[in-house]
Amino acid sequence: MTITLYDFELSGNCYKLRLLMNILNVPYAIHPVDFFPGREHKADWFLRLNPFGQLPVLKDDDLVLSDSGAILAYLAKKYDTSGQWFPDDPAVTAEILRWHAVADDISATSSAARLALGYSYPFDIEKSQKGAHRIFRILDEHLWFGEKAGRDWLCAPAHPTTADIACFPYVMLSEEGGISRQDYPALRRWTDRVRRIPGFMVMSGIFPAGPAKT
Amino acid sequence: MPLSLSDPTWYPIASSEDLPFRHVYHGQLLGRELAVWRADDGNVNAWENRCLHRGVRLSIGINEGQELKCQYHGWRYANRSAGCTYIPAHPADAPARRIENRKYPVREAFGLVWSAANDDQRFAPFPGAEGHDWFALRPVPVNATPEDVLAGLSRLAPDDQSVEFIPGRAVTLGSARFFVQPVDAARSVIRGILPEKPADEIATLRYYNEQLTKLRDSLERAAAKKPAPEPLQPVFEKVSVELSTMPDIAVPRGNTFPVVVKRKWQSADGVIGFELADRDGKHLPTFQPGAHIDVHLPNGLVRQYSLTNGPGDLMRYTIGVKAESASKGGSKVLVETVREGDVLAISEPRNNFPLRRDATRTVLIAAGIGITPLLSMARFLDKSSLNYELHYFARASQTMAFSSELDVLHGRVDRHIGFTREAIKAKVAEVLGPYQFANHVYICGPGAMLEMVQATAAALGWPDDAVHFEYFQNDKVIDASSAFDVELARSALTLHVPAGRTILQTMREAGLTVPSSCEQGACGTCLTGVIEGEVDHQDVYLNKTEKASNTCMMTCVSRAKSGRLVLDI
Amino acid sequence: MPKAPDPITRDLWHVVAATDELKIGLIETTLLLDRRLAMTRGLDGEPVVWFATDEENGDDIDADSVLDRLPVKTAYGYTWTCLGTPSAELFPIPEFAEADRVNMSCGSIGIHVSAPRAVENFLDMGHFPYVHTDILGSEPHTEVKEYDVEVSEERDEVLATKCKFMQPRAAKSATQAMEVEYVYRVPHPFCSVLYKSCPEDESRRDVIGIFLQPMTEETCRAHLLQSMIDSTSTITDLRRFQQTIFGQDKPILENQYPKKLPLDPRAETPIRADKSAIAYRRWLSQKGITYGVIPQAS
């Protein structure tokens, strides 16, 4: 197998795949795409790979995939021998897909605010920020009650799933969109836990957590 | 009542469970952001959320267990004191200046963590606090003024129940207490507690969370309809002039303070351990690994002892004292006459043996009582997961001090017992190996051992600046052949110091009272500021940087290279 | 109402866009010194900049129809303008004109911090192991050795030389840490240029510039320039490297308080490694810059 990731370093959606592949120890090559300032994701050659003109795209031999959530599911199903990152259990599958959808909502708000403030995208900053806070409130509540019930991750299993990977980057990058996480202490603790998953790697803009107490 | 930056009231700023180990909580009270973190020893720190160096939030830093590490430049700040213990950009220097972050009073009680803007009020439990095992509800942040939130909470009371306000923006509703944390002018957190953990924990928590969430939504709807008050404008306190001028050094004066002997015990054959603590139970000043204190003994002598403590461990200083010391009346007094409960005067910690934390490999070599500073170093390296090995040479296993402390280290600790001189030398050579880049060795032990390790290291190609040791005695031959004038600036006196006499003696002969102790350039008591002239340093108290600064000297042994010295006396 | 910029700042040339990224005939708007500007390029490719009215909103325009124009200069691939009376020249980067160099913009990135804070971060080496971990530095090699700083009278710029830092992988071929030498210039209150040992040609240096567009006192846009001796990497590779570095600085800068750079020496705690920053702060103070800084109380 040869995996190629069409990648932009500063993209949280691309990072989701780098992160999971690193955790699963899956080797891959990077094909850098000049998303900014070159707008190469709108170039003809890229649109042939993904007509939606969005990063990331992943090629596994001849198979071409796009959408970070879909690719996370693919990578977990194909390369996670433990079966824990995307379990087969129907209820858990539904749960994970539910959080993949939340991850897209986080992108549409937190990532949009970041692109508007940092990269001059014409998005409505205030609306994006408000939207992100609305999601973060629910996330914080979900994670707070999770901690009370002994659940460390977004979904029910004792092991993290692709749902955690999908939601993590644009939660961590929210401050670049002017969205403080000060009011979400349980969400902040969860980001510590994600950063302590064995095989965790950073992206530009995200710092590692120190080691846990032994 | 509008919020005031100087409001001395204690408010809850977090739940206890918001502070797991190795996490930094991002808090705020009365407009001031806080970095709140629990150390591995359980202590909770509430600091201004801003590194003194470049103003970066400490809440994005790393809780290393007993020290907080700033994310920008890796500066380490100690648990309890918030004192800076290490500046990685200058790894060979002990941060000589007292760089200390601003900290706020903090108390953990009733399931919550409490803080206040200043020390003006003592922490006092709210009425009816005692006698319960309080249980914290999920805190609910609200974007509304604390006043409106408090009013909103009081409306939650059923019509047939009276609302009881309690001091500190709090209200009693049934058995529950709700506190309003004034985050900022238009931001609050509702922190509720129940007197006991309820039988159906999750259901109860859900119930209150729903009630408070509904209240939050209605308060925020109301707040959106009126102009929000301006956020509070906290002022960042300025650092001292001394810290701002980037001086090369600032040698602490020999200030002493009293400590009580909390514990005295036999750590090994011939080694007595002492634990010294503040009399009022406060923490002691920040120290760095390798630091020592001067202990002022009941018979008037001053002796130096290395601290064995690990990072952020400031509730007591632990030293080890050799029982049969050759120094008459020194350690002997400590061992034989000082008892638990006695009060001693000690100096603030000083560091002439700084530990670099930028080595790829650190070798610690201890002989006998020399284990004490190296134990401290090993503990710091251990907490930072840095690569080190500790080699401890002793005549017999029963003379090895601090054994249980060494046992809990994660690094390599090798005990070498009963070796001959030749065997020690061979072992040291084997341990050191040929010099490699970014390796450092630290030695503490008898003079002969120091010399042997230095010679061995040199033969293996180790450069001088990779071989670290410290002197507690000045074994150098003092060259007193120079003659020069000293001008005492504050006393408006000029004296001639002839060959064979010290500056100290000359000043005393002129009728001045000048403090001194060891009179061999080792204790620091006669430290004097230098205004003009070039100093001929002959002491072992000042470190290289301090000597090079030419701003201070020890008048008991050091002299002048220039014809004239102007001293700040 | 924001305060008017000090006269020195008002009369400076300020960067506003990478010239190539301005589309001919399409209006883009941006902020400079609290003023909203509109910009485009004419059919001749030359940039045109003017004070925005409410009418421009991603619209098409014939640049010739713009009458009330602000002064414009193009240099180092970027468009510069001035809200006051500009000087004739912009600071020199002679290397930019060397024929075999690969010159490129690396994107214009908004940051929630003042322009001078971003300049100061650019001059700083001590953060390499902590912020640019495994790229520009890595623990345990954290030492900032003594280096030289001067304010060049002749060129009126801050110059830091003999700056050395241990870098884990200075070049693609390097297998172990090696010391890299840097020279930093601050030739403009809101711009800095660094020169770094070039792996491909020992006799020359790669040049990296950061030009800050002060949008407001507490926000700016960083325009990055690379002028490299590199015959193997693609533009995309080189941009990616620079953006990775800058993306790592961004969260640090955005977590810095206060957002404006304090010029009072007692506001923060400098160490010897900060010599260049101290010189920069003094230089700003002496020039009388008050925009984006907290001036020293007299």
pLDDT in tens, B199-236: 999 999 999 999 999 999 999 999 999 998 999 998 88
Where do the domains of chain A lie? 3-79, 90-195
Q: Please, what is the end-to-end C-alpha distance for chain B in angstroms?
A: 54
d(CA B488, CA B509): 14
A188 contact residues in B (CB cutoff 8 A): 23, 25-26
Is the pLDDT score of B442 beyond 90? yes
What is the structure's pLDDT at B516?
Answer: 77
Question: Does residue B144 share a domain with residue B61?
Answer: yes
Interface residues on B facing C, Cβ-Cβ cutoff 8 A? 33, 50, 52-57, 60, 70-74, 87-92, 99, 236, 238-241, 243-246, 248, 357-360, 386, 438
d(CA A70, CA A52): 14
B89 and C144 within 8 Å at the Cβ level: the answer is yes
d(CA B441, CA B453): 9
Question: Does residue B292 share a domain with residue B181?
Answer: no
Is the pLDDT score of B248 beyond 50? no
What is the structure's pLDDT at B249?
Answer: 46
d(CA A204, CA C154): 39
Question: Does residue B445 share a domain with residue B541?
Answer: no
Please indicate, yes or no, if residue B2 is contained in any of the structural domains.
no
Where do the domains of chain C lie? 7-81, 94-294
Q: What Å distances lie between residue C210 and B140, C218, C227, CA to CA?
A: 43, 17, 12
Mean pLDDT (chain B) is 91
C244 and A36 within 8 Å at the Cβ level: the answer is no
d(CA C185, CA C183): 7
Option in A32, A36, A202 nearest C107 (CB): A36
In this prediction, the residues of chain C whose per-residue pLDDT falls under 70 are 1, 55-58, 170-175, 298
| pLDDT tens track for C180-229 | 999 999 999 999 999 998 888 888 999 999 999 999 999 999 999 999 99
Mutate to test the interface with C, among A18, A117, A204, A207 (most CBs of C within 10 A): A204
d(CA A177, CA A118): 8
- The residue of chain A with its CA nearest to that of B62 is A210
φ/ψ (deg, to 5) at A153:
-120, 175
| Closest approach of B384 to chain A, Cα-based (Å) | 9
C265 and B245 within 8 Å at the Cβ level: the answer is yes
Question: Does residue B542 share a domain with residue B442?
Answer: no
Mean pLDDT (chain C) is 92
Question: Does residue B187 share a domain with residue B71?
Answer: yes
A3-79, which class in CATH?
A: alpha beta
Q: What is the 3-state secondary structure (H, E, C) of chain C?
A: CCCCCCHHHHCCCEEEEEHHHCCECECEEEEECCEEEEEEECCCCCEEEEECCCCCCCCECCHHHCCCCCCEEEECCEEEECCCCCCCCCCCCHHHHCCCCEEEEEEEEEECCCHHHHHHHHHCCCCHHHHCECCCEECCECCCCCCEEEEECCCCEEEEEEEEEEECCCCCCCCCCEEEEEEEEEEECCEEEEEEECCCCCCCEEEEEEEEEECCCCCEEEEEEEEECCCCCCHHHHHHHHHHHHHHHHHHHHCECCCCEECCHHHCCCCHHHHHHHHHHHHHHHHCCCCCEECCCC
- The residue of chain A with its CA nearest to that of C224 is A37
Helix, coil or strand: residue A57? strand
A90-195, which class in CATH?
A: mainly alpha
Higher-confidence residue: C202 or B503? Answer: B503
A183 and B25 within 8 Å at the Cβ level: the answer is no
d(CA B143, CA B223): 8
Report CA torsion sign: A135, A141, A145, A150.
Answer: positive
- Nearest CA among B522, B432, B532, B551 for reference residue B484: B532
* ipTM given for this complex: 0.96
What single DSSP character describes residue B235? P
Is the pLDDT score of B247 beyond 60? no
CATH of residue B389's domain is 3.40.50.80
B99 contact residues in C (CB cutoff 8 A): 269
Is the pLDDT score of B351 beyond 90? no
CB atoms within 10 A of CB C95: 17
Matching CATH topology for C7-81 and C94-294? no
C94-294, which class in CATH?
A: alpha beta
B31 contact residues in C (CB cutoff 8 A): none
Please indicate, yes or no, if residue B233 is contained in any of the structural domains.
no
- Nearest CA among A182, B549, B83 for reference residue C269: B83
What is the structure's pLDDT at B326?
Answer: 54
CB atoms within 10 A of CB B323: 16
Please indicate, yes or no, if residue B479 is contained in any of the structural domains.
no
Touching C (3+ Cβ pairs <8 A), the chains are A, B
In this prediction, the residues of chain A whose per-residue pLDDT falls under 50 are none
Look at chain C and count its residues.
Answer: 298
Q: Mean pLDDT throughout B282-300?
A: 89
- Nearest CA among A159, A165, A190, A166 for reference residue A83: A159
Tell me whether C112 touches chain A (CB under 8 Å).
Answer: yes
A213 contact residues in B (CB cutoff 8 A): 21-22, 40, 65
- The residue of chain A with its CA nearest to that of B14 is A185
> For chain B, what percent of residues have pLDDT higher than 70?
96
d(CA B559, CA A45): 79
d(CA B428, CA B451): 12
Question: Does residue B278 share a domain with residue B210?
Answer: no
Interface residues on C facing B, Cβ-Cβ cutoff 8 A? 125-127, 129-131, 139-144, 251-252, 255-258, 262, 264-275, 278
Report CA torsion sign: B409, B413, B417, B419.
Answer: negative
C267 and B236 within 8 Å at the Cβ level: the answer is yes
What is the structure's pLDDT at C175?
Answer: 63
Long-range CB contacts (within 8 A, 24+) of B159-163? none
- Nearest CA among C54, C5, C42, C78 for reference residue C225: C78
C7-81, which class in CATH?
A: mainly beta
| Closest approach of C133 to chain B, Cα-based (Å) | 11
Bridge partners of residue C158, in order along the sequence = C151, C186
- Nearest CA among A45, A35, A15 for reference residue C236: A35
Q: Which helix (H) or strand (E) is B140 found in, with range? A: strand B140-142
Bridge partners of residue B362, in order along the sequence = B388, B440
Q: How far is CA A54 from the centre of its chain?
A: 15
Range of the domain at B534: 484-567
A118 contact residues in C (CB cutoff 8 A): 109-111, 250
Mutate to test the interface with C, among A14, A22, A34, A174 (most CBs of C within 10 A): A34
- Nearest CA among A71, C132, C144 for reference residue B358: C144
Please indicate, yes or no, if residue B332 is contained in any of the structural domains.
yes
Is the pLDDT score of B246 beyond 70? no
- The strand pair at B484-488 and B564-567 is best described as parallel
C30 and A38 within 8 Å at the Cβ level: the answer is no
* Residues in Cβ contact with B48 at an 8 Å cutoff, skipping those fewer than 6 apart: B32, B33, B34, B35, B101, B102, B103, B104, B236
Locate all alpha helices (DSSP H) within B340-446, ordered by sequence: 371-383, 403-407, 421-432
Touching B (3+ Cβ pairs <8 A), the chains are A, C
Tell me whether B138 touches chain A (CB under 8 Å).
Answer: yes
Q: Mean pLDDT throughout B482-502?
A: 91
A119 and C109 within 8 Å at the Cβ level: the answer is yes
What is the structure's pLDDT at B325?
Answer: 52
Bridge partners of residue B342, in order along the sequence = none
C127 and B50 within 8 Å at the Cβ level: the answer is no
Option in B63, B71, B138 nearest A144 (CB): B138
d(CA C176, CA B67): 30
What is the structure's pLDDT at B98?
Answer: 75
- The strand pair at B412-417 and B388-394 is best described as parallel
Q: Mean pLDDT throughout B25-37?
A: 98
Helix, coil or strand: residue B275? strand
Residue written as token pair 């001590």: C126
d(CA B6, CA B118): 7
Helix, coil or strand: residue B457? helix
Crossing angle of helices A68-79 and A90-106, rounded to 10°: 150
Mutate to test the interface with B, among C133, C166, C255 (most CBs of B within 10 A): C255
CATH of residue B502's domain is 3.10.20.30
Number of independent structural domains in chain B: 4
- Nearest CA among A193, A206, A201 for reference residue B22: A193
Locate all alpha helices (DSSP H) within B443-558, ordered by sequence: 447-459, 503-509, 544-549
B17 contact residues in A (CB cutoff 8 A): 147
A11 Rama sector, left if φ>0, alpha if ψ -120 to 50, beta otherwise: beta
| Closest approach of A212 to chain B, Cα-based (Å) | 6
Q: Mean pLDDT throughout B67-85?
A: 96
B65 Rama sector, left if φ>0, alpha if ψ -120 to 50, beta otherwise: left
| Closest approach of A84 to chain C, Cα-based (Å) | 31
- The residue of chain C with its CA nearest to that of B237 is C267
Please indicate, yes or no, if residue B337 is contained in any of the structural domains.
yes
Question: Does residue B205 share a domain with residue B68?
Answer: yes
C251 contact residues in A (CB cutoff 8 A): 175-176, 205-207
Please indicate, yes or no, if residue B523 is contained in any of the structural domains.
yes
Domain boundary pick from B170, B202, B224: B224
Spatial contact of B131 and B34, defined as CB atoms under 8 Å apart: no
Tell me whether C26 touches chain A (CB under 8 Å).
Answer: no
Question: Does residue B540 share a domain with residue B434?
Answer: no
| pLDDT tens track for B170-185 | 999 989 999 999 999 9
A145 and B205 within 8 Å at the Cβ level: the answer is yes
How many contacts does A have with C, using Cβ atoms within 8 A? 65
Option in A144, A145, A192 nearest B23 (CB): A192
- Nearest CA among B302, B281, B388 for reference residue B345: B302
A189 and B20 within 8 Å at the Cβ level: the answer is yes
Spatial contact of B289 and B309, defined as CB atoms under 8 Å apart: no
A10 and C111 within 8 Å at the Cβ level: the answer is no
Mutate to test the interface with C, among B54, B77, B439 (most CBs of C within 10 A): B54
What single DSSP character describes residue B123? -
| pLDDT tens track for A151-210 | 999 999 999 999 999 999 999 999 999 999 999 999 999 999 999 999 999 999 999 999
Crossing angle of helices A125-148 and A112-119, rounded to 10°: 130
Residue written as token pair 């259901």: B203
Spatial contact of B428 and B456, defined as CB atoms under 8 Å apart: yes
Crossing angle of helices A125-148 and A162-172, rounded to 10°: 130
C236 and A32 within 8 Å at the Cβ level: the answer is yes
Tell me whether A126 touches chain B (CB under 8 Å).
Answer: no
Angle at C225 between CA C223 and CA C231, to 5 degrees: 150
Question: Does residue B274 share a domain with residue B204?
Answer: no
Touching A (3+ Cβ pairs <8 A), the chains are B, C
Question: Does residue B22 share a domain with residue B155?
Answer: yes
